Amino acid sequence: MILQNITTGLFLTITSLAFAQNSKQMSELIQNEFQLADKQYKKLMKSIPQDKMPQSYNASIDKVTTKDITWWCSGFYPGSLWMIYEQTGDPEIRKEAEKRLQLIEPNKTFTRDHDLGFMMFTSFGNAYRITKNPIYKDIILTSAESLSTRFRPGMQAILSWDKMADFKGPVIIDNMMNLEMLNWAAQNGGNKKLEEIAIAHANTTMKNHFRSDYSSYHVIDYNVNTGEVFGKKTFQGYSDSSAWARGQGWALYGYTMMYRFTKNKAYLDQARHIAKFILNNPNLPEDKIPFWDFNDPKIPEVPRDASAAAIIASALLELGQYVKADERKNYVDNARQMIVSLSGDHYQAKAGTNGGFLLMHSTGGLPLHSEIDVPLIYADYYFLEALKRYKDWYLQ
């Protein structure tokens, strides 16, 4: 018994020392990452026209790719700036963030697609969280109302895109991310109907978007009046039946977030099932950075998607907050490995390179021959969010 106690005590001491060392390493890594982000985004801001937002970088011509403010990614740049400012206190970064918020503010009444959460909550949501400026809150509430106009009662979901040649009533898994703004608005002075819409959409998606292994289809095509499912398809994945990597990340993040707001255990269980599909997938590489689609038959000779890893890591860190210790350790360990991989030489740009973006090797839309093996603004955003979450939740 004495020997057993000594052995147990020694094991606990070694484990504690390893954890302490790991915590110190992660603390230093996170600090270094935000310092690098500060430098990189000061480079990036010099390359962006006053009326555009950064999207990617074309190394062959050394030019930052930009988009108009109604592009779905327009909120990620100011959102990233706010997170960098929060960690560094750099006034130059804050000034740029405030300037870019002014540019995208007109999006608060944009209703042509479902992406208002991406546009306005990643940006103004972070700005309000950090500053508590009531003007930012009003803009979020207006944006949530605008998004709610795309809810179609007949199908009990938010219409992602208007009718297209191949789709009559498309709803994409990405749309789960935009529910965060609706939930937040409903709980922070907005109309309670916004939460009801978010719940209805999440329930409809849970019913129709998932296969028996909890992988997600990309697009479900509905009859907007009756909710009848016309087809289960893809727009950005390898095939209709494949598991597009970033889509699995959107699903994991979305249901974890829905549990945060509602405490509905069905959403927590859904997130845990999705996490199991991702983390136990035989095609998930050792460094935990997914190939662009889990079912591409040419794996491993296909592009990775750093953006999917960043989204998944951030989601796993939140999911770890809602489960017991053993399960939490699994999620946090995997998220940490993703963060470490993304911060390594293969995926992270050297200071002064990559147009000012942090991460390399993301894949936007391979079947569309678009944004293949390039930096992407939302990869940086969710990587920074994962760093912040790890610091706030697992280094205390």
The string of DSSP codes covering 131-159 is: H--HHHHHHHHHHHHHHHTTEETTTTEE-
How far is Cα 374 from Cα 363, in angstroms, rounded to an integer? Answer: 7
Angle, helix 265-279 to helix 193-208, in steps of 10 degrees:
40
Amino acid in the structure at residue 235: F
Sheet holding 170-172, edge to edge: 170-172, 219-222, 229-233
For residue 198, what is the enclosing H or E element?
helix 193-208
- H-run or E-run covering 58: strand 53-58
Question: Per-residue pLDDT for the chain (396 aa), expressed as one digit of tens each?
Answer: 333 333 334 334 444 445 556 889 999 999 999 999 999 999 999 999 999 999 999 999 999 999 999 999 999 999 999 999 999 999 999 999 999 999 999 999 999 999 999 999 999 999 999 999 999 999 999 999 999 999 999 999 999 998 776 889 999 999 999 999 999 999 999 999 999 999 999 999 999 999 999 999 999 999 999 999 999 999 999 999 999 999 999 999 999 999 999 999 999 999 999 999 999 999 999 999 999 999 999 999 999 999 999 999 999 999 999 999 999 999 999 999 999 999 999 999 999 999 999 999 999 999 999 999 999 999 999 999 999 999 999 997
CB 387 within 8 A of CB 33: yes
Quick one: CA dihedral 333, 30, 305, 126, positive or negative? positive
pTM: 0.94
CA dihedral 10, 12, 14, 16 (to 10 degrees): -150
For the chain, the straight-line distance linking the first and the last C-alpha, in angstroms and rounded, comes to: 34
Catalytic position from the list 113, 174, 293, 380 = 174
Strand, helix or coil at 214? coil
- In this prediction, residue 5 carries a pLDDT of 39
Distance between CA 107 and CA 75 in Å, rounded? 10
The question of whether 51 is a catalytic residue gets the answer no
Helix 306-319 and helix 245-262, axial crossing angle in degrees, nearest 10: 20
Residue 115 is a catalytic residue: yes
* Range 19-48+245-396 has CATH code 1.50.10.10: yes
| Six-digit token string for 130 | 């950090």
Decide the pairing of beta strands 170-172 and 63-67: unpaired
Please give the torsion angle defined by the CA atoms of residues 27, 31, 33 and 34, in that order, rounded to the nearest 10 degrees. 140
- Long-range CB pairs of 78-81 (<8 Å, 24+ gap) are 78/104, 78/122, 78/123, 78/126, 78/127, 79/122, 79/123, 79/125, 79/126, 79/381, 80/37, 80/41, 80/377, 80/380, 80/381, 80/384, 81/41
Number of H helices, E strands in the chain: 13, 9
Task: Parse the chain into domains and list their residue ranges.
Answer: 19-48+245-396
Of the residues 38, 90, 113, 115, only one is catalytic, namely 115
Return d(Cα 235, Cα 114) in angstroms, integer: 16
